[in-house]
Amino acid sequence: MKFFAAFRRPHLVLLILLAGPLIATPSFAQNASEGITVDRPSRIKNLVPAEQLERAAQQQFSQMKRQASEKNALASDDHPQLIRLREIAKRLLPHIGRWNAKAVRWQWEVQLFGSNAINAFCMPGGKIGFYTGILDRLKLNDDEVAMIMGHEMAHALREHSRERLAKNQLTGIGAGVLSSVLGLGDVGRTVMDYGAQLTMLKFSRDDESEADLIGLDIAARAGFDPRAGITLWRKMSSASKNNPPQWLSTHPSGSNRITEIERHLDQVLPLYAQAIGVRLDALPPDPSVQ
């Protein structure tokens, strides 16, 4: 997912603010050599300064919060969905260090968007957003929410937005931004241009597949059942029959994603078993068995 493409059209949704940062604690110990493995990130991303991109995302996030405040669409700290999302995030965050050591210093936040859309995202720098529609319409349990959140976090951890923007620059789409980066424009304009591009950015199918697998790894280490990825995608596929969610056009099909999840369960189920303190043959019943 970008499952859930991060910043495509944020001005179209109402927001419910979930205030307060979530600070990650690095964790490199638990089976760091086991679980999911992926290729090294592309060096192309280095064409885009990480600090400026994260600054652009922060500015965009702040704007979204201001718009939410103007519409009286901010949740209180005791909102049940707020509490739930933040607790899930707190369990996931200690397991991000093996994917991006810098990310343990990000000021992580969770925000809930008051919208019927089936969508979620994680901005560069660790700004997580969920739409109320994805929670309510799909009736997600905590394991399924963790699959989504882990996936979106993986996009940020692997800096997929940064890589996409760098590739756009190489093809001329971001020529103006590249000029600024090379010293031909002011920093303020560069940040503004990055923010404008983020709203239109789409991840590749390879990005989505990589985020699926990394999300499984993170969630399993945090004690969430990775087999919930299968039940999640069944719900996604069912919801898309009559009114396809906006992210579906850039994502591998639900059946392909389920096949990939099943193919990698042997790598993540041992992590899940260790996290909940049981033997592999004593795991809870498989939620995907119908």
Residue 16: what pLDDT? 31
Distances 65 to 72, 127, 199, 234, 238 between C-alpha atoms, Å: 10, 12, 15, 32, 32
| Three state DSSP letters for 218-269 | HHHHCCCCCCHHHHHHHHHHHHCCCCCCHHHHHCCCHHHHHHHHHHHHHHHH
> What string of pLDDT tens digits covers the 290 residues of the chain?
543 333 333 333 333 333 344 433 333 334 455 899 888 877 888 888 889 999 999 998 888 878 877 887 767 778 899 899 999 999 999 999 999 999 999 999 998 888 888 889 999 999 999 988 899 999 999 999 999 999 999 999 999 988 888 887 777 644 454 444 434 333 333 554 555 556 556 788 888 999 999 999 999 999 999 999 999 999 988 887 755 544 444 555 667 889 999 999 999 999 999 999 999 999 999 999 97
3-class DSSP state of 74: coil
Residue 10: what pLDDT? 37
**Using CA atoms, how far apart are residues 93 and 145, in angstroms rounded to an integer?**
14
**Using CA atoms, how far apart are residues 99 and 160, in angstroms rounded to an integer?**
13
C-alpha atoms less than 13 angstroms from C-alpha of 89 in its C-beta half-sphere: 27
CB 128 within 8 A of CB 145: no
The token pair at 206 is 């390879």
Runs of H (alpha helix) within the chain: 50-70, 80-92, 132-136, 142-157, 160-170, 175-179, 187-198, 205-221, 228-239, 254-276
- Would the pTM count as exceeding 0.85? no
Q: Collect all residues with Cβ–Cβ distance below 8 Å to 41 and sequence separation of at least 6.
A: 158, 159, 163
**Using CA atoms, how far apart are residues 60 and 54, in angstroms rounded to an integer?**
10
Residue 188: what pLDDT? 39
3-class DSSP state of 126: coil
| Active site positions, annotated | 152
Which amino acid would we find at residue 254? G
3-class DSSP state of 174: coil
**Using CA atoms, how far apart are residues 290 and 287, in angstroms rounded to an integer?**
8
Q: Collect all residues with Cβ–Cβ distance below 8 Å to 223 and sequence separation of at least 6.
A: 91, 272, 275, 276
